[in-house]
Amino acid sequence: MFKSIAVILILSGLSAQTIEAPALEPDPISIDELERWGLFLGQRSWEQRTAAICGLDGGGFAVSLTDGTIELYRQIKPLGDPSSTVRIALPGVPLSLLQLSGDLFLSGTSTGQLFLLDLATGTRVKEWAKVPGGWQPVGLAHRESNSTILITDQLHGRVWEFDSSTAKPIHFWDGFIEPTATTSAGDRVWVTDRGWHRLIPCYDGEDFPRFDDGIGDHGAAPGLLAGPAGCVGISKRWFFVSDSDNHRIQVIGTHGVSLHFWGLHALEPRESEGRLHYPQSLVLDRNNKVLVVLEPSESRVQIFGPRDAESRPEPAEAWQRVDLISHFGRHWALDRGTPGFLLAVLEPDAERVVILDRRSENPIEIDDVGGHGSKATLFRVPSGIDFMSSSGFPRFVVADRGNRRLQMFEVRRHPDSIVIREAWVTALVRAVDLDQLALDYPDWKGSSPPRPGAVACLESGIIAVVDEASPRILLLDQFFQPLGTLGGPGQLRNPVALAADGDGILVADAGAHRIIRFGLDGSLSTIFSAKPAKDRPVPAGVARHPDGSCYWTDSNFGRLYRTDSSGTTELILGVEDSGSATPTKTAENELYRPGAVQISRDGQVWVVDHGNHRGVVLEPGSSVRHFGSGPYLPQNQRPRQPVEEN
Amino acid sequence: MDSNYEDQDGPGWWIMALLGISMVLGLVMLLMVGCQPLQPALRSDPLPFEEVPPIEAGQTLMITADGTYRVVLDFPEDPPENQELEVTGIVYDSEGPIGDDVEVYFDAGMPHHGHGLAIDVETRRAPAGRFVTPGVRFHMKGRWLLTCDVTRGAHLERARAWIMVN
């Protein structure tokens, strides 16, 4: 009897020892508090576009603007005026920012450089580090567990680890599609990837990230992500993730569970106070217990903290969305038929191309194609589109940056058919893997695989595609066979739009602030070139008008220009003095972050007003009409609100 | 089998004719503008497909949009609902059955319902241009779209056909 009791006691003691779990390290911010995050605490916006933010030692944040200005905010709760402002001239546009120590900061630029800046003296000290084959340092972060710096290279899809004191590379993880930001949690590095739509872990000693262990996938339900653009570790177990195309911030655990999220697409143009619009970089200020959220599309930051335990969020913010919000992207194309009747719009948020019948005042959607993935007809970041001039059913070509390929589709719809939505009248014709094609075609070889961007299809059947990796223009025939290249790093900086122009190609080069024309023989002529100035245009779209003039958009200041054959440039839409713009920037003559411009055979000018989620059409008689999202239409075109009865 | 696919789509002989004309014109124009660096890889010969046999009962012909490939699909006249079947076929290019280095992927879906096959399938290549896709199950009645992707090196082309599952 006593023996049995003794055995039971011994066994129970052993089992108690066996099942004892190791004590979990307490989270610096409790789960209860994380679940209440989302209280709007303040905001600041700028006329100049915001480029990057980073945290500061001792609390606060720094923000860099596209003109090289860096403002430091140490008083953050409530948000005060900047404690200091410095302007340091940088080549290109800043992409990332990090405080190295004290007054020393690192800034990555669109020219593929990473500079050491001294804010005390307002000088660019030196190029801090370089890597073979170049890079595009879009994200910078300190690694918590040691004295290293994580650098997100979007050019090669890598994350580098550098020694912060010697500026020497230690290691890199390879194979990302479009990495956007990096953070660390415990002994792992986590990377947001816009191509995978995941938060992906990387381990020391491994060369490739563990993509299959990534958190999230493309979608809108909690735990899924659409265009993740920023992340910051809260503890070893929790992150804030900037779920950009879902316009929200999620609190996600390393186990993949979404603990909480907040944010809602702005209901009115430029609305803030908790409404989010394409949030990107994040800074967690642990001293002040606030999260700083950068929204480059609105040139603003918003600051959030935990709500009081007694208060509740707005019911609308607790909605659990399951559908992706669809917006007009930056690229669209008109078909070239006679009569032309189609408009095809890239919607990167949903990774789709939407095909509309454009003959009515409000174009009618007749089909869409795409979705997220790598199988044929799917996309991972559609990045350019144009209709071909082929006879028969209209065909268009879509560039897919994430999958590094082109796909050609045919819209099997007669112009005289009934205008109804019909699934899959849009058929895939062919696709080409540009990565593989570059290996087969020696002239296309480069330091990195092609990253296709804007597309233009010439009357002759030649297809021109921007290679963002080089930068240059790749030429193919209508069977996607390589023909050659145009331009190169000396001639192009950041080409963002192309347009067919007879036996040449118009190029909107945002990096060089100019509009140029390449002949197929390699000749180059400048149509417009902006001198350095505070309101220097950043071209985003270009097209040739039947009257011989050239229309182009300026995404930075929301303008549409026309340059005639004599070189005279006039403002067509937008305001010359940004101080006279309306607060919402949605008036009839205004644009906000416009993208592509396309011109129909009969002279209609179609501008995608990307930042206002609307289309703008200039009729040949100079009248203007708008279509798209109701709240973003000009006042006189908005749907009437129901009048309450007394 | 008289497939009811793509009747309205019809990229048929007239596209081929236009293609031929555009090829000739394109070459002439390129010579005229002195565009020597750009050598278009346009086909100069018609695509005879002499080796494609006549289509018999229980077979469906699918043609890729530009006519590069023809797919002779062994496919039942009345495909069963919710039963597994093995889809086989032969892919031809203008010179005969495709080589073993060419990949083929067969798939199906119901675009009007927004879904594909309930169970993903894999396509296996076999000699003499043949391919085999086991485990195809049309899990509901209605109009299905069959697709056949033919990949040679970097280039993929698609043929499609509509069928009815009753």
Q: What is the pLDDT of residues A516-527, one digit of tens each?
A: 999 999 899 999
Give the C-alpha distances (Å, rounded to integers) separating A64 from A67, A89, A506.
Answer: 8, 12, 31
Separation of alpha carbons A38 and A314, rounded Å:
11
B158/A429 touch (CB, cutoff 8 Å), yes or no: yes
Separation of alpha carbons A560 and A541, rounded Å:
9
Give the closest of B64, B65, B156 to A376, CB-based: B156
Q: Do residues A112 and A135 lie in contact, with contact meaning Cβ atoms separated by under 8 Å?
A: yes
pLDDT of amino acid B3? 43
| Right CATH for B13-165 from 3.50.50.60, 3.40.50.10470, 3.90.280.10, 2.60.40.1930 | 2.60.40.1930
CB atoms within 10 A of CB A642: 6
pLDDT of amino acid B39? 32
pLDDT of amino acid B57? 86
Coil, strand or helix at B61: strand
Q: Longest Cα pair distance anywhere in chain B, in angstroms?
A: 60
Token pair, residue A574, equals 């937008």
Separation of alpha carbons B15 and B46, rounded Å:
12
Where does the pLDDT of residue B127 fall: very low under 50, low under 70, confident under 90, or very high at 90 and above? very high
Q: Do residues A77 and A61 lie in contact, with contact meaning Cβ atoms separated by under 8 Å?
A: no
B32 touches chain A (CB under 8 A): no
pLDDT of amino acid A445? 84
CA closest to B109 among chain A residues: A424
Q: What is the pLDDT of residues B151-160, one digit of tens each?
A: 999 999 999 9
Chain B CB contacts of A428 below 8 Å: 65, 147, 158
Separation of alpha carbons A281 and A301, rounded Å:
10
Q: What is the pLDDT of residues A532-557, one digit of tens each?
A: 887 889 999 999 999 999 999 999 99
> Comparing A424-438, A440-454, B127-141, which segment has the lowest mean pLDDT?
A440-454
- In the sheet that A452-457 helps form, which strands lie side by side, from edge to edge? A452-457, A463-467, A472-476, A482-486
A432/B156 touch (CB, cutoff 8 Å), yes or no: yes
Q: Which residues of A make CB contacts under 8 Å with B? A: 376, 391-393, 410, 412, 414, 423-424, 427-434, 436-437, 440, 460-462, 475, 477, 479-481, 483-484, 503, 520-522
A429/B160 touch (CB, cutoff 8 Å), yes or no: no
Where does the pLDDT of residue A146 fall: very low under 50, low under 70, confident under 90, or very high at 90 and above? low
Q: What is the pLDDT of residues B88-102, one digit of tens each?
A: 999 999 999 999 999
Look at residues A240, A246, A245, A283 and name the one whose alpha carbon lies nearest to residue A258: A240
Give the closest of A376, A412, A461 to B26, CB-based: A461
Mean pLDDT of A572-578: 89
Q: Do residues A48 and A274 lie in contact, with contact meaning Cβ atoms separated by under 8 Å?
A: no
Locus of tokens 């709500």: A307
List chain B domain ranges.
13-165
Mutation pick from B157, B162, B163 vs chain A, by most beta carbons of A within 10 Å, is B157
pLDDT of amino acid B11? 44
Q: What is the pLDDT of residues A25-54, one digit of tens each?
A: 677 899 999 999 999 999 999 988 999 999
The interface pTM score, or ipTM, of the predicted complex is 0.86
Chain A CB contacts of B11 below 8 Å: 392-393, 410
User: CA B91 from chain center: how many Å?
Assistant: 8
A376/B158 touch (CB, cutoff 8 Å), yes or no: yes
**pLDDT at B48 exceeding the cut of 80:** no
Which domains are assigned to chain A? 31-308 (2.120.10.30), 332-562 (2.120.10.30)
CB atoms within 10 A of CB A182: 29
Q: What is the pLDDT of residues A318-374, one digit of tens each?
A: 776 667 776 899 999 999 888 789 999 999 889 999 999 999 999 999 999 999 999
**pLDDT at A411 exceeding the cut of 50:** yes
Type of residue found at A385: I
Q: What is the pLDDT of residues A79-131, one digit of tens each?
A: 889 999 999 999 989 999 999 999 999 999 999 999 999 999 999 999 999 99
Chain B CB contacts of A429 below 8 Å: 64-66, 157-158
Where does the pLDDT of residue B13 fall: very low under 50, low under 70, confident under 90, or very high at 90 and above? low
Question: Mean pLDDT score of chain B, rounded to an integer?
Answer: 81
